[in-house]
């Protein structure tokens, strides 16, 4: 279970550009939930993920993982339970290292990075097998630097890498936004399959309303640092894209756009 | 005439091999960590100072190699800590260490800017090597250097293939990946800087033993020399992917020293050395930019 309690976050405090993004923001995500998060630009979706992962500090409030307070835990330590995929496909992999080297590192997460051999030869067949399941032909390119792959291939690899070792939470930050429609579809199906298989608690930020409606079992809409719509599973099954669009328009009117 | 050319070439080869160890260190910071490390200007004479004092106190010359390697690692670690823990920019962290080390080096030598160790045995001048037949004697220094350089190169190659080495490469390539592996990227950087400066100080140690003295000014311009070697090497061997980057860097260092030797033989003074370095470095950078630009416009 994942909880944000009474989160307050100011940007540029003490300057003329001071902006309060979150004021007493609360969210709790139950184990096994797959939450889709939608909202306009600047509504705080990505900031919320950054706060969860510890990439940015907060001014007030508490962050709990399974009831344990991790508010002051540094970002890299939190990542032992989290897998995060970014909007930019280049963020999740090392471009100058080969696919094999990248996967070997990902496979070693949670263990010591010591002076033993970086790649375990016995695992190569396993890597090849899971790459084959992607259907992108990556299984024949193990010794090619990741930098020469396409964005979609890199994103698929990044998704595989963060979910290779046992994690509890999967954080998806518009992870299909930079991909062409067909590749985005493929990555989305892969995501759904992995989340189902590994029973991961997932938060997915997306601008694609169709994905938000089709995937996951809870939908949240954010606006100006607040949750303006929270649809649980039973209601979400009957939710249509138009319902969300209506809500979106309503918010925009309130803003005077 | 031929004899003279041979002598010049052997001299350049020796110098190139000495500085190749340093260039391997610069390769770690500049190419792998993407960290322009200026502390090299201080850690190179640090290794030389420690060696000069140790040898004049009667420490076995082979042990000084270990000593200087270790002390260089400590200095590099400090640069890393200044950068990572105190959040000081990479260039400035290096400048702080470089400046501090100038005084530290003088402290080590007891305030003397020059410590001669000609009289003592060292790794190039000892009863074992002097017992070798006359014919091989002009090549002995190069041979000893070659062995040291190859050992260091192989050690570095091996390290870069370990899990820890993977992490080091990852932190320069994409630090986000290191964080997502639940590893502290700061600690990884510190380890990288420690290894790099250990190599540099070892190079300083070998330099002191080869030249027979320690001089406080030997450090000036080391970073630039290292960068030049790395960039020459990497650019020369760009198309030949079966050569490891570490090999390329070593060749780069030798090529660089040969260029300098040629320039001096065409009538330039030794006092022009730094100017030659600067011009060469400038030329290399322009050339590698040029190639990049051409590649881009062709694409």
pLDDT, one tens digit per residue, over A241-252 is 888 888 877 776
Per-residue pLDDT, A167:
93
Whether B166 and A110 lie within 8 Å, measured CB to CB: no
d(CA B264, CA B269): 6
Q: Write down how long chain A is.
A: 257
Sign of the torsion formed by the C-alpha atoms of B207, B194, B250 and B293: negative
Write the residue in A95, A105, A119 that is nearest to B181 by C-beta.
A105
Per-residue pLDDT, B271:
83
Task: Tell me the percentage of chain A whose pLDDT exceeds 70.
Answer: 98
Query: Over 80: is that where the pLDDT of A124 sits?
Result: yes
Contact with chain B for residue A118, Cβ under 8 A: yes
* Over residues A207-215, mean pLDDT: 89
- Please count the residue pairs, one from chain A and one from chain B, whose beta carbons lie less than 8 angstroms apart: 81
d(CA B203, CA B51): 11
What is the fold, at CATH topology level, of the domain defined by A2-255?
Answer: Rossmann fold (3.40.50)
CB–CB of A87/A177 below 8 Å? yes
**Count of CB atoms situated within 10 Å of the CB of A99:** 26
ipTM: 0.90
Per-residue pLDDT, B3:
85
Contact with chain B for residue A89, Cβ under 8 A: no
**CATH class, B2-298 region:** mainly alpha
Render each residue's pLDDT in chain B as its tens digit; 299 residues.
788 888 889 999 999 999 999 999 999 999 999 999 999 999 999 999 999 999 999 999 999 999 999 999 999 999 999 999 999 999 999 999 999 999 999 999 999 999 999 888 889 888 888 888 877 777 889 999 999 999 999 999 999 999 999 999 999 999 999 999 999 999 999 999 999 999 999 999 999 999 999 999 988 889 999 999 999 998 888 777 778 899 999 999 999 999 888 888 888 887 888 888 888 888 888 887 766 665 555 44
Describe the strand order of the beta sheet including A60-65 as a list of residue ranges: A19-29, A2-11, A60-65, A68-69
Higher pLDDT, B134 or A57: A57
At A232, the pLDDT band (50, 70, 90 cuts) reads: confident
pLDDT, one tens digit per residue, over A128-153 is 999 998 888 899 999 999 999 999 99
Per-residue pLDDT, B298:
47
Q: Which residues of A touch B245 (CB under 8 A)?
A: none
CB–CB of B117/B56 below 8 Å? yes
Contact with chain A for residue B178, Cβ under 8 A: yes
Give DSSP secondary structure letters for A142-186: TTSBGGGS-HHHHHHHHHHHHTSS--SEEEEESTTTTS-HHHHHH
In chain A, where are the structural domains located?
Answer: 2-255
Whether B163 and A113 lie within 8 Å, measured CB to CB: yes
Any idea what DSSP says for residue A91? G
d(CA B265, CA B8): 9
Q: Which residues of A touch B174 (CB under 8 A)?
A: 90-91, 93-95
Per-residue pLDDT, B74:
98
């Amino acid at each position: 279970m994942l909880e944000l309690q009474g989160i307050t976050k100011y940007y540029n405090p003490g300057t003329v550009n001071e902006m309060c993004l979150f004021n007493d923001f609360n969210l709790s995500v139950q184990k096994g939930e797959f939450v889709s998060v939608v909202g306009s630009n600047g509504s705080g979706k990505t900031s919320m993920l950054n706060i969860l992962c510890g990439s940015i500090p907060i001014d007030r409030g508490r962050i709990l993982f399974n009831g344990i307070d991790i508010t002051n835990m540094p970002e890299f330590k939190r990542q032992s339970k989290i897998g995060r995929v970014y909007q930019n496909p280049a963020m999740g992999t090392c471009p100058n290292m080969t696919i094999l080297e990248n996967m070997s590192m990902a496979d070693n997460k949670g263990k010591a990075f010591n002076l033993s051999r970086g790649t375990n030869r016995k695992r190569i067949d396993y890597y090849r097998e899971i790459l084959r399941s992607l259907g992108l032909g990556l299984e024949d390119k193990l010794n090619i630097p990741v930098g020469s792959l396409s964005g979609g291939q890199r994103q698929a690899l990044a998704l595989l890498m963060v979910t290779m070792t046992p994690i509890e939470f999967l954080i998806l930050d518009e992870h299909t936004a930079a991909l062409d429609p067909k590749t985005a579809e493929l990555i989305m199906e892969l995501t759904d399959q992995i989340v189902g298989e590994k029973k991961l608690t997932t938060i997915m930020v997306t601008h694609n309303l169709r994905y938000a409606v089709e995937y996951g079992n809870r939908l949240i809409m954010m606006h100006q640092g607040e949750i303006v719509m929270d649809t649980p599973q039973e209601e979400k099954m009957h939710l249509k894209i138009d319902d969300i669009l209506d809500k979106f328009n309503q918010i925009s009117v309130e803003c005077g756009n | 005439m031929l004899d003279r050319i041979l002598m010049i070439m052997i001299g350049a080869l020796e110098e190139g091999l000495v500085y190749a160890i340093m260039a391997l260190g610069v390769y770690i910071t500049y190419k792998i960590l993407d960290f322009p490390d200026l502390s090299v200007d201080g850690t190179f004479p640090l290794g030389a100072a420690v060696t000069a004092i140790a040898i004049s106190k009667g420490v076995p010359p082979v042990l000084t190699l270990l000593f200087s390697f270790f002390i260089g690692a400590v200095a590099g670690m400090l640069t890393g800590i200044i950068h990572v823990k105190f959040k000081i920019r990479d260039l400035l962290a290096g400048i702080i260490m470089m400046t501090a080390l100038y005084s530290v080096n003088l402290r080590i030598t007891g305030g003397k800017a020059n410590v001669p160790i000609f009289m003592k045995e060292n790794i190039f001048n000892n009863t074992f090597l002097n017992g070798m037949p006359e014919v091989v004697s002009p090549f002995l220094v190069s041979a000893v250097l070659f062995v040291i350089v190859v050992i260091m190169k192989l050690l570095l190659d091996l390290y870069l293939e370990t899990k820890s080495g993977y992490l080091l490469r990852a932190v320069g390539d994409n630090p986000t990946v290191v964080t997502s592996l639940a590893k502290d990227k700061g600690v990884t950087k510190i380890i990288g800087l420690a290894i790099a400066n250990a190599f540099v100080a070892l190079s300083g140690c070998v330099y002191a033993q080869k030249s027979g003295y320690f001089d406080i000014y030997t450090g000036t311009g080391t970073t630039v020399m290292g960068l030049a070697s790395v960039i020459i090497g990497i650019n020369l061997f760009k198309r030949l992917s079966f050569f490891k980057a570490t090999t390329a860097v070593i060749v780069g260092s030798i090529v660089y020293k040969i260029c300098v030797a040629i320039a001096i033989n065409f009538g330039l003074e030794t006092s022009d050395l730094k100017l030659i370095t600067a011009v060469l470095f400038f030329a290399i950078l322009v050339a590698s930019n040029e190639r990049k630009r051409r590649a881009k416009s062709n694409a």
